[in-house]
Amino acid sequence: MRGVMKRMLTAAGVSVGMLLMAFTPASAAVFNLTADAGEISMPDGAQIYMWSFRDSAGGFRYPGPVLDVLVGDTVTVNLTNALPDMDGPSGPMSADAVSLLFPGHENVEFSSDGGVTWAPTGPAYTTGGSKESLRSLAGEAAPGQTVSYRFVAAKPGTYTYYSGTYPHKHVDMGLVGAIIVRTGLPNQAYFTTGSNYDYEVVQFYSAVDPDQHKRIKAGLPYQNSAYLPQYWFVNGRAFPDTIAPDTVSYLPNQPMGALLALYPKERLLVRMVTFDRDMHPLHSHGNHLMVLARNGRPLSSDGVNGDLAIEEYTQTMHPGDTQDGIFTWDPPMNFGFDVYGGDVTQPVPVIVPPEHNSVNINVGFGQLFSGTAYLGHKVDLGADAPINLNAMGEMYVPFHSHFEIELQNEGVGPGGMLAVIMICVPGKPCPGHP
């Protein structure tokens, strides 16, 4: 998983027996984040001015890094405010303060003196205690300042973090990221049954109103009630950039792809995180998702059995939600045909061009189409479809918002909040598969 910041182990002896981590004494994980400004690219060539969190030792990126910790860890995040000053319409403007919220975690503490003294994180007001001047829901880093937050990651799961300063503005500007709290058990997302997986991906859902971002860059006030998004993202990219690899040269600040590559029968854990202010119904083609947990809490009546897990093909991701689900693609024996094409007594029952050449069927082919209904077979699509991005007979299905206006890039589709699931061919390479 690109962009994951691994916990830095500072406690002695922690390296002993990683498999037993769930039962080892609490350790410490330290992350250094910097709030900064930069730009991201849209498929139509537009550049969007963003604010985001980056690894203090790394370059600008959107969305912010995934903080990867173990349950029981004392997590310390050192936040440096490098947001730029602005040239406003009436002269220079000082940069915003910035802060961090950690929903789902309790007793978050704040330090503004390098970790010497700690106090519960709390609000900040612009004018004394004037309620109307509420600026931040958490302790802040002033421009140029470094502050620290710490908490105990008490429960495994998928969480968000984001700026608590002017959150309506800062979250829309991109000051967001995610936290994964691991069980310490290998490939086990929770301590509940059924939460095992073969590998995992993180999916961030968000959107931007480019007009508001232009206003911020120009030093103009953010118009909260005028928000009208025009670009929708998975992992900070709009389709078709979502299916580009994790790091491509033309998307230097958007390092996370959203191509979900898996082999048949594999259990792919999808950690879903949503940031913007709207609800998105995420619809998985290809199969249901077995939903294990919502907002970092397993769907379980007793914390042991995953007895409340539920299969859905449309996940309603409300603002701030996280959700963990298992995606598997495994056609049953009784599927009407052998999807692998190995059993000659179970052919595809209908003509599928171009594989079954026929004068009777004249259709258009998508660039990702293999030309057949069989996994692992590949037929040239012919002169009508000279560009074919299908490599070896793999299959593609989308995983996208079903508010279909969100499948546009400033009015042009297909685009937007659309990730792609790639079903790989057993025994053959699977680009992007860990």
Nearer to another protein, 199 or 337 (CB): 337
Min dist CB 63 to another protein, Å, is 21
Q: Are 392 and 428 in contact (CB under 8 A)?
A: yes
Report how far residue 201's alpha carbon sits from residue 187's, in angstroms, rounded to the nearest whole number.
12
Min dist CB 412 to another protein, Å, is 10
Min dist CB 426 to another protein, Å, is 15
Whose tokens are 């052919």? That residue is 347
What are the E-state strand segments in 187-279? 199-208, 231-234, 259-262, 268-274
Strand-pair partners of 101: 162
- Give 238's DSSP letter: -
CB atoms within 10 A of CB 122: 12
Report how far residue 330's alpha carbon sits from residue 361's, in angstroms, rounded to the nearest whole number.
29
Nearer to another protein, 73 or 355 (CB): 355
Min dist CB 8 to another protein, Å, is 37
Nearer to another protein, 182 or 280 (CB): 280
Q: Are 418 and 407 in contact (CB under 8 A)?
A: yes
Nearer to another protein, 96 or 324 (CB): 324
With b meaning 16 or more CB within 10 Å and e meaning fewer, what string describes 195-218?
bbbbebbbbbbbbbbbebbebbbe
Min dist CB 35 to another protein, Å, is 28
User: Which residues have a Cβ under 8 Å from the Cβ of 99 and sit 6 or more positions away?
Assistant: 79, 121, 124, 136, 137, 138, 139, 140, 141, 147, 163, 164, 165
Strand-pair partners of 423: 262, 395
Nearer to another protein, 85 or 307 (CB): 307
Min dist CB 274 to another protein, Å, is 13
Min dist CB 295 to another protein, Å, is 17
Report how far residue 194's alpha carbon sits from residue 293's, in angstroms, rounded to the nearest whole number.
11
Min dist CB 15 to another protein, Å, is 36
CA distances from 42 to 39, 50, 199, 213, 397 (A): 10, 12, 29, 14, 22
Report how far residue 391's alpha carbon sits from residue 398's, in angstroms, rounded to the nearest whole number.
17
Nearest to 212 by CA among 271, 171, 158: 171
* CA terminus-to-terminus distance, the chain: 8
Min dist CB 71 to another protein, Å, is 24
Report how far residue 307's alpha carbon sits from residue 299's, in angstroms, rounded to the nearest whole number.
7
Nearer to another protein, 14 or 368 (CB): 368
Nearer to another protein, 91 or 364 (CB): 364
Min dist CB 343 to another protein, Å, is 9
Nearer to another protein, 20 or 389 (CB): 389
Report how far residue 49's alpha carbon sits from residue 20's, in angstroms, rounded to the nearest whole number.
44
Nearer to another protein, 79 or 407 (CB): 407
Nearer to another protein, 119 or 310 (CB): 310
Q: Is 241 helix (H, G, I), strand (E, B) or coil?
A: helix
Rounded to 5 degrees, φ, ψ at 84 are -80, 155
Structure tokens at 310: 């539920």
Report how far residue 259's alpha carbon sits from residue 245's, in angstroms, rounded to the nearest whole number.
8
Min dist CB 365 to another protein, Å, is 6
Nearer to another protein, 139 or 376 (CB): 376
